Amino acid sequence: MTYQLTIHSVFERLESWYGDGLVIDAGLGIRRTYAEFCDRVRRLCTVLVDELGVAKGDRVATFSWNNVNHLELYWALPLVGAVLHTLNIRLFPEQVRWIVDHAEDKVILADPLLAADAPSPHVLFDDLDRLVEKAEPMRAFPPVGEHDPLGLAYTSGTTGDPKGVIATHRGTWTHAMGACMADSLAISESDRVMPIAPLFHAWGWGMPYASAMTGAEIVVHGRDTSADNIGSIIERERVTVAGAVPTIWKELLPLARAGKYDLSSLRLVFVGGSASPRSLIEAYRDLGINYTQVWGMTETGPIACVANPRRGVDDVLDYTGTITPGVEGRVVDGELQVRGPWIAEGYYRVSAFEDGWLPTGDMAEMEPNGLFRIVDRAKDLVKSGGEWISSVELEGLLLAHPDVRDCAVVGVRSRKWDERPVAVVVPESPGSAENGGVTLESLHEFLGTKVAKWWLPDEVVTVAEIPKTGVGKIDKKAIRNQLSHLELP
């Protein structure tokens, strides 16, 4: 049948069949059944249209941590045909204002905890709550088509101005179904899902919608992403599925090893944003936790690859994974390109991608069976003497060094070789650099049997913190600027 794939059908299924499921806001101490949650969403729809004048196609910005109010807007805005524009709260005020102006947001809805930082004018969630309490539930939603925009998210803009990525109803619906497939994340009604990745980053990796599709319960953690808080919530709420960048899991690992928190409820930890070092994956699997890499971008909806086991493949840890069913992938001139029903067609107010394929900017190698590995970001490869060195591979190996807490590898000008790799390292303890734990010699010794000799970094720079973008990725543009004074032989 010709059937419109809009988020409305997912919401109505959630409301009708899974009303006894829970939405848990661990930060605010709020527990609501899905029936209560959906009733509030319908009331919020009335408030958006009747009180704030929101109409179909309007971009409405959110400026918030992961909380239940933000989750309600994830539903209410697209249900009335508006576009959910999740602002990155970690950007500088000037960047946020540029994005708001570029998106032409009609309204900005803000978390009270961020009132001082939210762009003006804005409406606080507290004010919305008071209106919701008095509003009648919206029974009939405005007509919306599957190709209508549902969400808008801007990339971090490390190589220029941020770019707006549009998610359609059809793309969001199909991504949610894809995430529930057994060969993806296999999210089901028996799960309790915790999206630790920010809801303002690539729509919380699609978890609010994927959870709702099968009635999985959902937990949000508020503003505190410390290892202690995350570990405590997982133990207390018996979370079964959680997704976050590798940094979160690396900080939680020593607490889990020490038995401070019981993480036995977890059946799946899925990790994206940057490559996980093999040592971190193996450490969690030694604890009996399935730690699985995913790959994607805001432009890919976001999840387009999961590193699940493959028949006849002994060790998938050597790979980024397999393109998710429903998405196609190919490598052209070394670059990974993808297309599919939840891949963006182009950027907001910019033309569509050439030939209908998204150029990812990731250099990759793909096997005949579809397994592939990301070699590096095209702009982050180190070109030394006409040969390429993968900064991603070096970083993954260095993170396994016992005295390295965090690291980045960038290319620095070399008079002889064009570029040479430099390792920027955060020592595991403040004194480890002084006591010989992180020296160029120790890194060379550690890497000696793992990479070719000409891959070894020419220098090591110890720092207190690796610069990160607003979405938690290594900001290599900033690092290169900091090292711009260096010139190697």
Query: Which active-site residues does the annotation give?
Result: 155, 299, 383, 388
Least Cα distance to 327 among 440, 459, 177, 108 occurs for 177
Token pair 């309600």 is found at 72
Which residue is associated with the tokens 């990790």?
271
CB atoms within 10 A of CB 114: 17
Query: Which of 223, 163, 215 lies closest to 187, judged by CA?
Result: 215
Looking at residue 450, its amino acid is K
Tokens found for residue 295: 């790959």
Question: How far is C-alpha 392 from the geometric centre of its chain's CA atoms?
Answer: 18
CB-CB contact of 457 with 448 (8 Å): no
Token output for 347 = 């950027």
- Other Cβ atoms closer than 10 A to 222: 18
- Two structure tokens written together for 197: 């990745």
The DSSP result for 368-426, as a single string, is: TTSEEEEEEEGGG-EEETTEEE-HHHHHHHHTTSTTEEEEEEEEEEETTTEEEEEEEEE
Phi, psi of 335 (to 5 degrees): -100, 135
User: Are the C-beta atoms of residues 26 and 220 closer than 8 Å to each other?
Assistant: yes
Nearest to 462 by CA among 429, 413, 416, 420: 429
For the CA atoms of 405, 408, 413, 418, the dihedral, rounded to the nearest 10 degrees, stands at 120
Residue type at 417?
A: W
